Chains A and B, each alone.
Chain A
Amino acid sequence: MFATGRSDRMSQLSFMERRKFMRIISSVVTVIGVLFMLPVILLVIRSGGAYGDLLFDQFQFYPMFWNSVFYALVVSSVQIIFAVLSAFGMTYGKMKGKNGLFLLYIVLMMMPQQVTVLPNFIQLRTFHLMNTRAGIIFPSVFAPFGAVVLYQYMKGMDVSVIEAARLETDSLFRILFQVILPQIKTSIQAVFVFLFAENYNMLEQPLLFLKDDKLKTLSVFISKAEEYGTDIMFPAAVIYMLPVLFLYLLFYQSFQNNSSHEGL
């Protein structure tokens, strides 16, 4: 009703009026876009002269950079494996309390990370994993976000395809790898980009669970601007955003298609 009314009104507008209206809309969108991009543009401009100081004088930067990439890659990869298996189990498994389990996943997903920091701290201290790489990786690999998103996607898949596959084979793994995974490939890529970005930006865990600077991440380096010098933080921030940007650009098309389909 509303849509029809609006389209009627739009059709009543003259060509000049419509053009003027579109111009206003595009100007507003451009201004908003520039406002969003402004911090990034300023960051890139201000980083100009300090790359030499960062790259040839701050040697802590390199292990921290590689640690960030390593933690993000390992944690996201393991998370995506668990997410696929959990989503598959929740979608096609026949068990009691499936909905309750999914609700628990949602609650866990909504919970701020700071809430779980103390239990994780106690657990890591008990298992003697403080100040180790494993201490960062293990508590992070069981994040529910990927499972929830993939579950939503799998739920929307055509069941007849799975049933047809069940006639061909009894192996659940064959069904998962040969029937389901090829269909949700783009969805997995999109979820992986999100998980990578989230894990790449982790700050609380390295700050609380690690003492050795050589194990810490680039986000810690950037958070200690006053210790390392504020000038070198601009080029550090530019380099910091490149791995996620590259990953986003790599999966950009599948990410775009998927996000529009699922409202990711």
Chain B
Amino acid sequence: MQKKRYQSVVVFGMLIFYFIMIILTVSARAIHYRQIPNVVITRLKRVEINGKSGYAIPFEAYENGSVFIVRFGMKGGEKRSFVLKTDVMAGETDGNDILIESVLQRWDRIICQSDRKLSSGDEVYISK
């Protein structure tokens, strides 16, 4: 009787452990993404503002002479996205877009929206 009770306690503990591991396996990534800033990214686009043509970014992505761009890095054995604050030389603006005159490359991913305050080196989740 005591042996059966002991075994049921162990089996119960074992089931709980494996159940928690299954739940975590399924949901750990989603929980992690909720803990880090979720961002929307954009790329440089060619526009003409006040007769000047060049590459521009949305105005909301520009903040006091700098923008946040996404860089990939390895963490936990896999490729993840991190932000890097980069100072840029900006030009003309029409209120929606702002011309970028140097530093950024055409293939750079620029963060235009974030649900949290960003700082350089943060890991982010690209929602769009």
Contacts and interface: CB of A to CB of B under 8 A. Distances in A.
Contacts, number: 45
B17 A242 contact: yes
Interface string B1-15: 001001100110110
Contacts of A44: none
B25 interface: yes
Interface of A: 55-60, 62, 65-66, 213, 227-228, 242-243, 246, 249-250, 253
10 contacts: A56-B32, A56-B35, A57-B32, A59-B29, A59-B76, A59-B78, A65-B25, A246-B10, A246-B17, A253-B6
- Give the interface residue-count category, chain B: 20 to 34
Contacts of B28: 55-56, 59, 62
Contact of A213 (B14, B21, B29, B77): B77
Interface of A is mostly: helix
9 closest A-B pairs by beta carbon, nearest first, are A62-B25, A60-B77, A246-B14, A58-B76, A249-B10, A250-B10, A56-B32, A56-B31, A56-B28
A228 B74 CA distance: 10
A57 B80 CA distance: 11
B24 interface: yes
A59 B28 CA distance: 7
B96 to A, nearest CB: 37
Given A60-B76, A60-B77, A250 B25 contact: no
B77 A227 contact: yes
A212 B32 CA distance: 24
